[in-house]
Structure 1
């Protein structure tokens, strides 16, 4: 199986994650897994890979970033406030938890508009990937949680490969917001699995 030009060998450090998901599948349990972690640690890439191997839904926190109209000084001072966690909770996470059909509109950061309504049928396995997915308002709804970390130098290298023009914006704006959220809520210690990606996944999506 190949994802973004990568084979299974690229993902050997994720064996504990695959073992966890296989156990859940064998027990036919309703499972909601959060994959949080540093920017450029490989969250989206891992979620894509999981979707290729398991019958699951994947939801992206990038679809729930905060509109400019909500980015007040007070909101951005709130750790984890850079995501519309209320909208994600009510449109995705609560319905998932209750085994109901999910209806949500992905937010487009470029146009600052909501897209068409996505209708997602419930499945046994559901993956929520992205920074802020373990926000305190959200994490009680997960059955399992994973944190992906990456060395800061490798992180910047990956960000530059993905979008060199936005490296400075990551350094001055987005990474400080993420790191404050991680530290304030002790996100790493709340996750059941901690995986250091290092150079394991070249140039991931997130």
Structure 2
């Protein structure tokens, strides 16, 4: 975007998606109206902040114009998870494969062909291979979507945040008490280090 636009929205329990995500709709509509080029929008932010909710809402709002790609499909492969790699800020993402298999084809308007990584089998199941045709609006949802390894391919960078109490409540509902311990001890500290080191929120166009 040519100008940085930052919105902080009040998180009201009774807020509708249209109200909560109004700044995003406004920004995307302006980008779609202002150019015929392929548009790339990153949805980064904290665990439990509503990234997937926003992405699903946008996919429903722009059903004929949008593709959605999830960063969770690019967990590091077993051979990549060395002690050195996992200690790297932002290293718990297969950013090499995401760039080559998704970002570059989208950038050139080519179809995207990839297999989501299955964390349970530690493989790329052939039966889950996806072929996604090019569309104008491309949404990249997940923490680390604004990793500096990717450069700056996006016309819109969105950051979602959440207070700690709400975050932990949502994560407990999602992964249970045992899973929450792993989030608190591992995943949340890793993402917070990434946000701070690379100033992800400060460099976003929209903050919700």
Post-superposition, which runs of at least 4 consecutive aligned residues in structure 1 deviate over 4 A?
none
Matched, 1:106 2:113: no
1:189 is aligned to 202
TM-score (norm 2): 0.87
User: Number of aligned pairs?
Assistant: 190
1:80 is aligned to 90
1:39 is aligned to 47
Residue 127 (structure 1) shift: 0.1
SS at match of 2:59: helix
Gaps of 5+ in 2: 1-13
Q: Which moved more, 1:162-171 or 1:33-42?
A: 162-171
TM-score (norm 1): 0.88
Gaps of 5+ in 1: 1-6, 196-206
Matched, 1:152 2:160: no
Matched, 1:71 2:94: no
Seen in structure 2, the aligned counterparts of structure 1 residues 38 and 53 have a Cα distance that, compared at 3 Å, is same
Aligned counterparts of 1:115 and 1:122: Cα–Cα separation in 2: 23
1:172 is aligned to 185
Aligned counterparts of 2:181 and 2:120: Cα–Cα separation in 1: 18
SS at match of 2:26: helix
Report matched runs for 1:194-205 at 5 Å. Answer: 194-195=207-208
Aligned counterparts of 2:125 and 2:192: Cα–Cα separation in 1: 29
Matched, 1:50 2:93: no
Aligned counterparts of 1:34 and 1:158: Cα–Cα separation in 2: 22
Residue 110 (structure 1) shift: 1.3
Q: RMSD of the alignment, in Å?
A: 1.6
